[in-house]
């Protein structure tokens, strides 16, 4: 029997959501995504202004690159399932803090903290949480500074704080994280201890390189912000 026949035979027992409810949830979801896209645009603009200002007034820039993403529906569902959350808009809003994600890549470790300080002192930004995986790396060697912030966005008739996760890290940390993400992060089950240890060793090499490069920056007086 084909899958389609099976579907047809069971069709009477499958309860589709009431059309009105479904459209309402779909609309709320799209609104939520729009709010987060707006916050990404706004925080990215703040970061680009800082980047432009330093380009203009200094010999070098503490920001190498900025990229952003809205978390995909699949990724959101996956995370909510892992956390055992009900699939409701309020559970999504309250518990998933990285719907809007921005990544800032910096040349030196001290630039990471400098950019973070510059950003959080802006009046529209409220810091909700700081996760410093540089001072306290994850067990697998992951390093990055995560700021969960609320950015005030003005819409036509309402002003709302929208949550954005900002990951700030060095080029070396990003090299490791991007590579590891492909190799391991989404494939926990078939990852061996040997591969885990090798990756952790690579993370240590990156961290050592970051420290040496930071020392060189000091020798060349590149940390005078
Ligand atoms: P993706 O694909 O980037 O969206 P919480 O958000 O606090 O409820 P979580 O997700 O454990 O719980 O927070 P955490 O540890 O701060 O991680 C958030 C994000 O950091 C992840 O998002 C990754 O982008 C990145 N990250 C964290 N740990 C690792 C790691 O070991 N390796 C790599 N490459 N990235 C990591 P997502 O949703 O997991 O993934």
Mean pLDDT in order along the chain per 10 residues (225 residues): 65 66 82 96 97 85 96 95 92 95 97 96 96 97 98 92 97 96 70 88 97 86 65
Query: How much distance in Å is there from the Cα of 24 to the middle of ligand 1?
Result: 30
Instruction: Among 181, 188, 200, say which to mutate for ligand 1: greatest number of ligand atoms within 8 Å of CB.
Output: 181
Q: How far apart are CA 152 and CA 116, in angstroms?
A: 17
Q: Cβ(98) to ligand 1 under 6 A?
A: yes
Locate the ligand 1 atom nearest the alpha carbon of residue 69 and give its number: 4
Q: Is the pTM above the cut of 0.85? A: yes
pLDDT at res. 16: 61
pLDDT at res. 11: 64
Q: How far apart are CA 124 and CA 150, in angstroms?
A: 8
CATH of 4-219, one of 3.40.50.300, 3.30.460.10, 1.10.260.40, 3.90.1280.20: 3.30.460.10
40, exposed or middle or buried, with CB in 10 Å at 0-12, 13-18, 19+?
Answer: buried
Q: How far apart are CA 142 and CA 134, in angstroms?
A: 8
pLDDT at res. 224: 60
Q: If you take atom 30 of ligand 1, which residue's CA is the nearest one?
A: 142
Burial 120-137 (b: 16+ CB within 10 A, else e): eeeeebeeeeeeebbeeb
CB-CB contact of 106 with 170 (8 Å): yes
pLDDT at res. 157: 87
Q: How far apart are CA 141 and CA 197, in angstroms?
A: 9
pLDDT at res. 166: 98
The DSSP bridge pattern shows strands 125-132 and 100-106 to be unpaired
Please tell me whether residue 189 adopts helix, strand or coil conformation: helix
Q: Cβ(177) to ligand 1 under 6 A?
A: yes
Locate the ligand 1 atom nearest the alpha carbon of residue 131 and give its number: 16
pLDDT at res. 15: 66
pLDDT at res. 217: 84
Q: Cβ(181) to ligand 1 under 6 A?
A: yes
Query: How much distance in Å is there from the Cα of 215 to the middle of ligand 1?
Result: 29
Query: How much distance in Å is there from the Cα of 138 to the middle of ligand 1?
Result: 11
Q: Cβ(102) to ligand 1 under 6 A?
A: no
pLDDT at res. 4: 67
pLDDT at res. 25: 83
Q: If you take atom 2 of ligand 1, which residue's CA is the nearest one?
A: 75
Locate the ligand 1 atom nearest the alpha carbon of residue 167 and give its number: 20
Instruction: Among 136, 185, 202, 203, say which to mutate for ligand 1: greatest number of ligand atoms within 8 Å of CB.
Output: 185
Residue 112 makes CB contacts below 8 A (sequence gap 6+) with 106, 134, 145, 168, 169, 170
Please name the helix (run of DSSP H) or strand (run of DSSP E) that holds residue 101, with its range, or none.
strand 100-106
Q: Cβ(97) to ligand 1 under 6 A?
A: yes
């Amino acid at each position: 029997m084909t899958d389609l026949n099976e579907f047809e035979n069971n069709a009477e027992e499958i309860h589709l959501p009431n059309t009105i409810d479904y459209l309402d949830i779909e609309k709320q979801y799209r609104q939520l995504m729009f709010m987060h896209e707006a916050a990404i645009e706004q925080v990215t603009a703040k970061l680009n202004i800082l980047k432009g200002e330093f380009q203009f007034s200094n010999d070098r820039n503490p920001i190498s690159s900025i990229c952003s993403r809205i978390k995909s529906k699949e990724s959101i569902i996956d995370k909510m399932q892992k956390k055992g959350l009900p699939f409701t808009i309020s559970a999504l809003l309250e518990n998933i803090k990285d719907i809007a994600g921005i990544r800032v890549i910096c040349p030196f470790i001290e630039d990471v903290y400098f950019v973070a300080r510059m950003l959080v002192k802006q009046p529209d930004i409220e810091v909700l949480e700081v996760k410093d995986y540089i001072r306290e790396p994850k067990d697998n060697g992951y390093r990055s500074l995560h700021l969960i912030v609320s950015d005030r966005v003005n819409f036509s008739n309402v002003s709302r704080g929208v949550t954005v996760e900002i990951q700030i890290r060095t080029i070396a940390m990003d090299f490791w994280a991007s590579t590891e993400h492909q190799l391991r992060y989404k494939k926990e089950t078939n990852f061996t201890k040997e591969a885990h240890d090798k990756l952790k060793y690579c993370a240590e090499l990156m961290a050592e390189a970051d420290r040496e490069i930071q020392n060189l920056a000091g020798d060349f007086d590149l940390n005078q912000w």
